[in-house]
Amino acid sequence: MASNIRKRISKKITKALFDFPMINEGDRVLVGLSGGKDSTALLLSLFSRLGKFGAPFELAGLHIQSDFGDSAPKNFVKSLETLVNIPIYYLDIAIEGRLKDGERLNCYWCSTQRRTELIKFAKENGFNKIALGHHLDDILETLLMNMLYKGEFSGMPPFVPYEKYPVSVIRPLCYCEETEITEFVQEMGLECPSCKCIAAGNSNRRLIREQIEALTMGKSTLKRNLFESMRHIRMDYLL
């Protein structure tokens, strides 16, 4: 019998799939697996839906191993193969090696390179949807970072169809909070490796995360209101 946290995660994913039609019948969905708690929760949740909920679809995972950092995430992803009966693929990519002289490794560069490889792999192997483990807190952090550091009102939409590629990005965890995902993987008895990325200190995301917690006082309703503001834009009250 499913626990309360599993039911809660499943219910929020169901709502996301309904509000932003992400998965249709016959879709081939590729999950980007970092080895962290978010993509792990996403993989296990989508796997539990195969043949049970909504439109039938295919599911697989892809882990990208960079040329920096240890092998703990890759080894963890390999351990998930005993829990899910789906294909999981692995790529070794020289992300740091692509930097030009004088350039510094940072989170944005790394994520851009990984996203490029995900899209390339999906296209070459017939996947039309790429599922990423971004949750509600990630989306709000990106929204405020773009407003503060780029001067634009933009974020990470739950569903993003690419115009140049026959691939779309989906974020089924868009209604799930990070604390819920942490509780989910802990209940599953999984010890996901912590992030030891050498570029982690070159990001403003941690600071923004602390500011959002202070702004919302950690209240789920206020976080949800921030999220919903992206869907309820009153253009006559903006520049």
What would the CATH number be for the domain defined by 4-229? 3.40.50.620
Could you read off the pLDDT of 206-239 as tens digits, one per residue?
889 999 999 999 899 999 999 999 999 888 988 7
Q: How far apart are CA 96 and CA 106, in angstroms?
A: 10
pLDDT score, position 49: 93
Q: How far apart are CA 196 and CA 164, in angstroms?
A: 34
* Contact yes or no for 172/131 (Cβ under 8 A): yes
Query: Which residue numbers in the chain have pLDDT < 50?
Result: 1, 202
pLDDT score, position 200: 56
The string of DSSP letters for 156-209 reads --SEEE-SSSS-EEE-TTTT--HHHHHHHHHHTT--PPPP--TTGGG-SHHHHH
pLDDT score, position 205: 83
Could you read off the pLDDT of 62-95 as tens digits, one per residue?
999 876 777 888 999 999 999 999 999 999 887 7
